[in-house]
Amino acid sequence: MVKICCIGAGYVGGPTMAMIAYKCPDIQVVVVDISVPRITAWNSDRLPIFEPGLDEVVKSCRNTNLFFSSDVEAHIADSDIIFVSVNTPTKTRGLGAGKAADLTYWESAARMIADVAKSDKIVVEKSTVPVKTAEAIEKILNHNSRDGVNFQILSNPEFLAEGTAINDLTNPDRVLIGGRQTPEGQKAVAVLKGVYAKWVPEDRIITTNLWSAELSKLAANAILAQRISSINAMSALCEATGANVAEVAYAVGKDTRIGPKFLNASVGFGGSCFQKDILNLVYICECNGLTEVANYWRQVVQINDYQKLRFVNRVVSSMFNTVSGKKILVLGFAFKKDTGDTRETPAIDVCLGLLGDKAKLSIYDPQVSEDQIRRDLAMNKFDWDHPQHLVPSSPTANSKEMVTVTFDAYEAAKGAHGICIMTEWDEFKSLDYQRIYDGMEKPAFVFDGRNVVNVEELRKIGFVVYSIGKPLDAWMKDLPAAPLS
């Protein structure tokens, strides 16, 4: 029996290893993590992450050929293949702060592997890492390993989308494996390819050199984010000219060279990957003297920040240029529907912008806890990717007077002056907006950051409605735009 160990029980390691165990009953899979509470949650009836279909996959093979353990060293020593899926946060200080990836956890994992390994291992990069990370990891392993123990490093980046991770794992567009162009390296590639070939068609398993695999992950996320920033930039022009961004996106997406995906205008992209990976790409370009290339990719992030700021300013300017003391209902806090993940969610920047103008926020999300919301609002930029004990607390974000978290959208709407829709949860499309309107202060505003509501129906009820990239409500046309600051 082949034995696989995955270091890191997060959003990538947990679901990926669960799918390998589910599809390969002849392989023993152990997911290890130094966080005992996280491992306890994986072994419980309430998993630490929400992902449609994940519960069924985990529970079907847990304690059969899928195990979760905090005994990290023992399982590393006992495995044949070691996936490393640890955090690669953005550096917050020192060289490359705000852009470069912090490989502290990766280096610690590599040193632990070298220290405890008594037999040859295939070490697989599953985290998103900078190009040439494999070379650094090889040096650490080879300089610290026992005599006679050999390591082969592979790059096997993940291409999961949260909310559809189980389907992405079951039926992937591609599986990418990069390895050294040596007989030993290609033998290791063949071993890992054989694992995925148990359920993935062979023509979807792509093999490349190490550096191409490492760069492909960053390139994929950068190009996807670029599409979102492109349509969001168009949404601002649509509002200025009276065009409808949904119609523009539909017409553009009909071009087979472009296609319709990732052309939905919104308040901005979020999640753990897009911004972090683009900034890392910017840093790599700068380190290689490619200033113009770095500036090109930096602009993708700048447009995303601009879109969030533009949304906040639209809220403030529409409500008589102040939201001080006004109650705003925030519908949705996760960065997208069908996940409880709040990392880099646009809701954070929008909420902080409104709090900066002394608004009172009432926040509702069906999957995000109050503790998580308050933590997110109290963090500095990039702190979400670092241990919680390093994160400072913000009195404003945790003030019961300024921020309340509710689990009833109708109760939360009572006495509100406006509603900001920040996540495209399906339930927000079918709320009884007449009931909500009746309980709100007038004029009652809806600011749809995800284009999920029927604008005309809401205007018939009496709402003043702003929808990203759509023709402006007559009310808003008559108001001067607030300066972007």
pLDDT digits (tens, 9 = 90+) for 300-316: 999 999 999 999 999 99
The pLDDT of residue 389: 41
The reply, when asked if residue 87 is annotated as ligand binding, is yes
User: How large is the C-alpha radius of gyration of the chain?
Assistant: 24
Of the ranges 155-164, 305-314, 438-447, which one carries the lowest mean pLDDT score?
A: 155-164
The reply, when asked if residue 89 is annotated as ligand binding, is yes
What is the average per-residue pLDDT within 368-378? 94
Q: What are phi and psi of 393, to 5 degrees?
A: -105, 140
What is the average per-residue pLDDT within 366-386? 84
Whether omega before 52 lies within 30 degrees of 0, making that bond cis, reads no
- Mean of pLDDT over the chain: 92
pLDDT at 44 over 50: yes
**Residue entry with tokens 């956890």:** 105
Question: Could you tell me the pLDDT band of residue 392, with boundaries at 50, 70 and 90?
Answer: very low
Rounded CA-CA distance 248/232 in Å is 12
pLDDT per residue as tens digits for the range 52-98: 999 999 999 999 999 999 999 999 999 999 999 988 888 888 888 88
Rounded CA-CA distance 335/215 in Å is 25
The reply, when asked if residue 8 is annotated as ligand binding, is yes
pLDDT per residue as tens digits for the range 3-17: 999 999 999 999 999
The reply, when asked if residue 275 is annotated as ligand binding, is yes
The pLDDT of residue 387: 55
Rounded CA-CA distance 210/180 in Å is 6
More confident residue, 100 or 182: 182
The pLDDT of residue 23: 97
The reply, when asked if residue 456 is annotated as ligand binding, is no
pLDDT at 19 over 50: yes
First-to-last C-alpha distance (Å) of the chain: 60
Q: 3-state DSSP helix/strand/coil percent for the chain, to nearest 5?
A: 45, 15, 40
Question: 273 catalytic, yes or no?
Answer: yes
Of the ranges 191-195, 263-267, 462-466, 478-482, which one carries the lowest mean pLDDT score?
A: 478-482
Most confident range (mean pLDDT) of 88-97, 359-368, 394-403 is 359-368
Which position among 24, 238, 273, 420 bears the catalytic label? 273
**Residue entry with tokens 């500036």:** 295
Rounded CA-CA distance 350/314 in Å is 11
The reply, when asked if residue 127 is annotated as ligand binding, is yes
pLDDT per residue as tens digits for the range 257-270: 999 999 999 999 99
The reply, when asked if residue 189 is annotated as ligand binding, is no
What is the average per-residue pLDDT within 277-299? 95
The pLDDT of residue 134: 81
The reply, when asked if residue 283 is annotated as ligand binding, is no
Three-class SS string for 330-380? Answer: EECCCCCCCCCCCCCCHHHHHHHHHHHCCCEEEEECCCCCHHHHHHHHHCC
What is the average per-residue pLDDT within 424-447? 97
The reply, when asked if residue 274 is annotated as ligand binding, is yes
pLDDT at 391 over 60: no
pLDDT per residue as tens digits for the range 90-138: 888 888 888 888 888 888 999 999 999 999 999 999 987 777 788 888 8
The reply, when asked if residue 33 is annotated as ligand binding, is yes
pLDDT at 474 over 80: no
What is the average per-residue pLDDT within 366-371? 94
